[in-house]
Structure 1
């Protein structure tokens, strides 16, 4: 059983990730929360937590952690402080704690933020964090979904290194992809885009892992 630090555990997608991990036979979630008042939500479900603020020192949050899912986001309010520098702090701490895998929730368009017509600052921050992770020597997977929806997941996606089109995907399916990608042999040191599609998530991830 591996301990998984879920950064952004109180977000909409983060909660879905935590709930998937708590039913897993392979992983145990450790929810990173910013305020003490947020602990009860998780402790009531017997989920462990750690206090950490991405705008402050977070090196303590990686103790006894095997892998990381970074699903935090500032909602466009503090893209440099949280989406970029906060991610870098967790990446640095991951290096120091020899984390076995770092799964980054990024965004479609983060590979070429200069081409964006909207959310350019956000995509630039995500791009900088992604590039920092790639250069860190921490084993990684970078997942870049299209627009997130709250529709029920289908368990099926379209996947590719660069899909060359716009689209959307449910948070349910994104959370499922992120948790599946935690396995050592899944999309190791790969970055890829995902949209709603027709291929089962497991099969889709196998296709990107074997390239």
Structure 2
């Protein structure tokens, strides 16, 4: 498969690219800063410099053309203000989905977050509230499109080594942690799992092997 990854220099994206290329797939990582290209190439993926906050849909469509799937793994990241939660986490996803529709790339995996779709608790930090709202709007936009989409909401991300075992189910799971490496492994398994199209899934660490957890969703 040929997979385009938006947010290609992010931690999950780099792990995902490495896992994909290790299985013989072709990964194209969209990055904003050309200085990040060596880290992308080290995973075996191809780097394409394209800033989602400045790109137009025709530019993005040209890159997505011919891809079997796209993964939205972009995010404004720690330290960014509320405004960039909308321009990256929401608008970037909308732009990628529109590009995928234009060129007929139907499989779309969106990395969201647990807590999305719920109103922020009273007293929630302004930036976190904007992040959840932006993710919610991005999910809503994706559900309105004629794509084979899957939304994945991981729990609190850690840099611990992957365990290969998870809990993966429709909302709402009890909140928990999940290593980024396990998130990447689940995305790899979901890409070719047609029975998960049109599903919103939550993910935390657990005791079920990744492939079995994905297969069980067909039951």
TM-score normalised according to structure 1 size: 0.91
8 Å CA contact 1:59–1:89 kept in 2: the answer is: no
Question: 1:68-109: per-residue Cα shift (whole Å, max 9, x none)?
Answer: 011111015210000001110001001001113001111001
Superposition pairs of residues 66-145 of structure 1, within 5 angstroms: 66-75=68-77, 77=80, 78-115=84-121, 117=124, 119-145=128-154
Listed one character per residue, the Cα deviations across residues 102-128 of structure 1 (whole Å, up to 9, x for unaligned) are 011110011224458452210110111
What is aligned with 1:31? Answer: 29
How many residues are matched?
A: 208
- Listed as ranges, the matches of 1:7-18 within 5 Å are 7-18=6-17
Q: Which moved more, 1:133-142 or 1:179-188?
A: 179-188
8 Å contact 2:85–2:131 — kept in the other structure? yes
- Tell me, yes or no, if the aligned pair for 1:51 and 1:61 is still in contact at 8 Å: no
Deviation at 1:164, TM superposition (A): 4.0
Higher helix share: 2
Aligned-partner SS, 1:60: helix
The alignment partner of 2:203 has SS state of strand
Bigger shift: residues 158-167 or 85-94: 158-167
Q: 1:181 to 1:45 in 2, by over 3 A?
A: closer
Query: Quick one: structure 1 residues 179 and 186, their matched pair in 2 at CA, closer, same or farther if it must change by over 3 Å?
Result: farther
Residue of structure 1 in register with 2:192 after alignment: 183
Aligned partner of residue 112 in structure 1, secondary structure: coil
How far apart, in 2, do the equivalents of 1:193 and 1:44 lie?
30
Alignment partners' CA distance in 2, 1:45 and 1:148: 21
1:16/1:175 contact within 8 Å kept: yes
Consecutive unaligned residues of structure 1, counting only runs of 5 or more, are none
Secondary structure, counterpart of 2:194 in structure 1: coil
2:66 and 2:105 in contact (8 A); partners too? no
Distance, in Å, in 2 between the alignment partners of 1:193 and 1:46 is: 29
Question: Given the two structures, how large is their TM-score scaled by the length of structure 2?
Answer: 0.88
Shift of the 109–44 alpha-carbon distance from structure 1 to 2, 3 Å rule, reads: closer
